[in-house]
Amino acid sequence: MTDYANLFRLDGKHVLVIGSGSGIGRESALALAAHGARVTCADRDLPAAEQTVAQGNGSQLVAYELDVLDDDAITRAVDELGDVDVLVFTAATNVRKRILDYTSEDFDRVVALNLRASFQLVRAFGKQMAERGSGSIIGFSSIRGTTVEPGQSVYAATKAGLVQLLRTAAAELGPSGVRVNAIAPGVVETPLTAQIKANQAWYDAYAQKGALGRWAGPEELAGAVVYLASDAASFVTGSVLAVDGGWTAVDGRFDPPN
């Protein structure tokens, strides 16, 4: 008999959350720990990761400094952290410019964090999971992997590329018992979207686009992370879970009369 009462429990699991110093990463780490996981809160900003630990159950969370742009640091993390049952990575950046204004340096900066670092993480921790015969990898795409607007070219390209990277990883690692999925958030109030929030017209326009007519708080993404990390999603792999308030489901431009 399946123990449905504990289907989302993560007791005994070691989860590594990268980007846990703020925003979605922080809330995900706290939610995973609340469901019984032992969580390593990794971030390039160690004091920020330590603040996340301070907000949760200290016995379940530990801070770890990790710069995912450093390949050697990722290799060290694999050795130092031991078995990782679940990998969650949320770190991303964006340079909002039109294509004709983009520089090669801008391009390299966005691709390096959003796509190349993700590739390196999947390779490093996916290998460990495949050898052990189990694991769950959760990466963060975006609505911009599906719908675009001016000024989002390279960011959108990396988020679409990440989906295909994770789908391929799901196909390759599935026979070894490793599940790989993406979450695609809509508009979420995080440090990455502070520029939009500072412009009331821009902020309101985004809020009105989705079916719910508002932005999400980062805590509203944590449930999706817990789900994909847990046995509740034991037959879910290669999927993109939209947590976007209906952004990609509705047109949003005009409410026609009856």
Report the C-alpha dihedral over residues 249, 255, 257, 258, rounded to 10 degrees: 30
Spatial separation of the C-alpha atoms in residues 104 and 60, rounded to whole Å: 42
> Three-class SS of residue 119?
helix
Rg of the chain taking only CA atoms, in angstroms: 18
Spatial separation of the C-alpha atoms in residues 184 and 140, rounded to whole Å: 6
**Closest among 6, 1, 41, 5 to 24, alpha carbons compared:** 41
The per-type count for the chain, helices as H runs and strands as E runs, is 9, 7
Residue 39 to residues 61, 99, 154, 156, 254, Cα–Cα distance (Å): 5, 39, 32, 30, 44
Residue 224 to residues 24, 116, 171, 258, Cα–Cα distance (Å): 11, 24, 21, 35
Residue 64 appears among annotated catalytic residues: no
Catalytic residue among 4, 155, 203, 206: 155
Residues recognised as catalytic: 155
